[in-house]
Structure 1
């Protein structure tokens, strides 16, 4: 297969979830040829990073923090889960892929967007049993925010505790001071603060929804070892499209 056909097969597979068998029929080649082509191009797409401007891409979390600090923008983080095949019976790590939230076998990635919902970063995946806050700490987010430029990062309640560790840079929903029998004035104030935070943070949900529109991330039936390359490849392609759309709108 020529390079253009290999690239087209990879894009169709990621975007629409077309199986290798069907792609082999379309391109009149053997199934192993399609599998090899996708396996070679997927890591190359993942290595591109997320496009924020023509010729400017972010590949690591450190670059994302520096970019947000230099541009004065607010970042938004959230974890997203992708369903995967259940590990074979007898494997020692079989249970760690079970999500505590959905009770399904899945892997988890931390997604970072700007205040407009544009993708900036998707982390390598971890088993779904890993808590959001633990995943963020493993990625070094606490150290990067504490030692780097001042950056405001919005997060949901799953990241409560990072604010104290980062000098208030991570902003999470307010804690409830009354577990029960709260005064009416407190309930109104807490609900108002919660909604205000949620309305600012909602853009990351939009960014994740755009990711999940790619069939490769709706549910993965292949090898779990490929999930990091898949989500980062999709993020790279989607961020390039988002940047091109912003530039086109600016020129109109």
Structure 2
């Protein structure tokens, strides 16, 4: 298979998860940063300015467009790098090098502001500033993905064991708006760490104090956050005692169902992320997971922002 045929077939939306229109826009967006990082890498390797004119020397086996397509296909289906190398008729290491060049660029893009595609949110502070300016009520939830178990006799081996799933996982926090559009994904941590503890380390307590007009809905995992900010954070109502009357139970059930219905959009946002195979179960190195999750969430936010 020639590289042209591989590019034609693999650039289909089924393979990349993006329409060709959005794929073209993404290539145009990241071509400049990739060329700048490549020039910096070569300058660092040489230790001086280039001696030959621009364009001289050997060409890349894969042009930038093919590198982008190969990276997206791997993010979409978690295919072995050797499989993509066969399609492009190159060595496996060429695909691996391309993925390690493109993936950080995708992860650093941030998340689209709905209705303003030129603006992107990259930090939790950006999300709170946007929510305060636009009056957006946030939805906050945690998600976890099974990862490879650390090798035996390694320190901290139990760090990744999730108390909920009883598996080795990594967790992330996802924030969406009321329509389930991803605004931020981060606070990556081992599966043993509680969702609320992760947000504490991200400084969310300080942000709620700085932006008193921001409102959020959360699940029962963030009861402490709702307790400290009762006028800003809404958690599920507390279940009545065992001796509660049927009327009290009925009132609690209706309130719980109403809060769940208003918060369910963040679960739908998580489900969009997990349509990409690496976020169903990550079988690669754990140290790459944070970057991969950020890259996929940013791509999903591009499509969700158009709703």
TM-score of the pair, normalised by structure 1: 0.94
3-state SS of paired residue (1:123): strand
3-state SS of paired residue (1:160): helix
| Bigger Rg, which one | 2
- Which among 192, 205, 217 is matched to residue 154 of structure 1? 217
Structure 2 CA distance for aligned equivalents of residues 166 and 227 of structure 1: 32
Structure 2 CA distance for aligned equivalents of residues 4 and 111 of structure 1: 30
Deviation of 1:92 after TM superposition, in Å, equals: 1.2
Deviation of 1:149 after TM superposition, in Å, equals: 4.3
Q: Which residue of 2 aligns with 1:81?
A: 144
Q: Which residue of 1 aligns with 2:164?
A: 101
Deviation of 1:241 after TM superposition, in Å, equals: 1.6
Residue 38 of structure 1 pairs with residue 99 of structure 2:
yes
Higher relative contact order (CA 8 A, sep 6+): 1
* Native 8 Å contact 2:225 2:233 kept in 1: yes
Q: Which residue of 2 aligns with 1:176?
A: 239
Q: Which residue of 2 aligns with 1:205?
A: 267
* Native 8 Å contact 2:132 2:213 kept in 1: yes
Residue 234 of structure 1 pairs with residue 276 of structure 2:
no
Mean alpha-carbon deviation: is it higher for 201-210 or for 29-38?
Answer: 29-38
Q: Which residue of 2 aligns with 1:114?
A: 177
Structure 2 CA distance for aligned equivalents of residues 19 and 200 of structure 1: 40
Q: Which residue of 1 aligns with 2:76?
A: 15
Structure 2 CA distance for aligned equivalents of residues 165 and 31 of structure 1: 52
Query: Residues 109-165 of structure 1, C-alpha deviation per residue, up to 9 Å, x if partnerless?
Result: 000000000000000410011111111111111110112241111100000011232
Q: Which runs of 4+ in 1 moved over 3 A?
A: none
- Which among 109, 128, 145 is matched to residue 65 of structure 1? 128
Query: Residues 84-104 of structure 1, C-alpha deviation per residue, up to 9 Å, x if partnerless?
Result: 000000111110101111101
User: Which structure 2 segments of 5+ residues have no match?
Assistant: 1-61
Structure 1 CA distance for aligned equivalents of residues 90 and 139 of structure 2: 44
